Amino acid sequence: MSMAMRMMKGGPSLAGSFARLCAVAGPVSGRYSTAAAATTSASTTTVTKIVTQPAVHGTVIAHGDPTFLESVDIYFDKAAAIASTTPDILAQIKACNNILKVQFPLKCANGTVELIEAYRAQHSHHRLPVKGGIRMAPNVDADETMALAALMTFKCAVVDVPFGGAKGGIKIDPTKYSANEKEAIIRRYTSELVRKNFIGPSIDVPAPDYGTGPQEMAWIKDTFEHLQPNDINGAACVTGKPLEEGGIDGRQEATGLGVFFCLREFLNDEALVARIGLTTGIKGKSFIVQGFGNVGRHTIDSIYGAGGKITAIAELDGGLVAESTEGIDIPALKAYHKKKGTITGFPGAKTVKFAPAILELPCDVLIPAALETQIHSGNAGNIKAKIVAEAANGPVTPLAETILEDNDVVILPDLLLNAGGVTVSYFEWLKNLNHIHFGRMSRRMEERGKTVLIDALENEFGNGHRISAEVRSQVVKGNTEVDFVWSGLEETMLMSWENVKRTAEERKCNFRTAAYLIAIERIAACYRVSGIFP
| Interatomic CA distance for residues 412 and 76, integer angstroms | 16
| Interatomic CA distance for residues 279 and 515, integer angstroms | 25
| Interatomic CA distance for residues 132 and 449, integer angstroms | 40
- Of 3, 12, 76, 4, give the one whose Cα is nearest residue 383: 12
| Interatomic CA distance for residues 69 and 173, integer angstroms | 22
- Find the farthest-apart pair of alpha carbons in the chain and give their distance in angstroms, rounded: 85
Catalytic residue among 9, 94, 101, 167: 167
Element (H, E) at 517: helix 511-530
Continuous H helices in 45-132:
68-80, 87-94
- Of 236, 195, 174, 281, give the one whose Cα is nearest residue 425: 236
Find all residues with CB under 8 Å of 48, minimum gap 6, and list them. 36, 37, 38, 62
One-letter amino acid identity for 281? G
| Interatomic CA distance for residues 399 and 45, integer angstroms | 16
Please compute, for residue 426, the number of CA atoms within 13 A of its CA located in the half-sphere on the CB side.
25
Q: Does 221 qualify as catalytic in the annotation?
A: no
The answer to the question of whether 155 is labelled as a binding residue is yes
Element (H, E) at 471: helix 469-476
The C-alpha angle with vertex 245 and arms to 293 and 291, in degrees rounded to 5, equals 5
Distances, alpha carbon 506 to alpha carbons 75, 509, 510, in Å:
19, 8, 11
Burial class of residue 3 (count of CB atoms within 10 Å of its CB; 0-12, 13-18, 19+): middle
- DSSP, residue by residue, 393-424: SS-B-HHHHHHHHHTT-EEE-HHHHTTHHHHH
Helical axes 294-305 vs 254-267, angle rounded to 10°:
40
| Interatomic CA distance for residues 53 and 329, integer angstroms | 30
87-104: buried (b, 16+ CB within 10 Å) or exposed (e) per residue? eebbebbbebbbbbebee
CA dihedral 326, 331, 332, 335 (to 10 degrees): 160
The answer to the question of whether 255 is labelled as a binding residue is yes
- Of 269, 301, 280, 277, give the one whose Cα is nearest residue 367: 301
The answer to the question of whether 178 is labelled as a binding residue is no
The answer to the question of whether 131 is labelled as a binding residue is yes
| Interatomic CA distance for residues 88 and 73, integer angstroms | 16
The answer to the question of whether 283 is labelled as a binding residue is no
Please give the positions annotated as active site.
Answer: 167
State the binding site. 131, 155, 255, 294, 425
Which residues does the annotation place in the binding site for NAD(+)? 255, 294
Query: Binding-site residues for substrate, please?
Result: 131, 155, 425
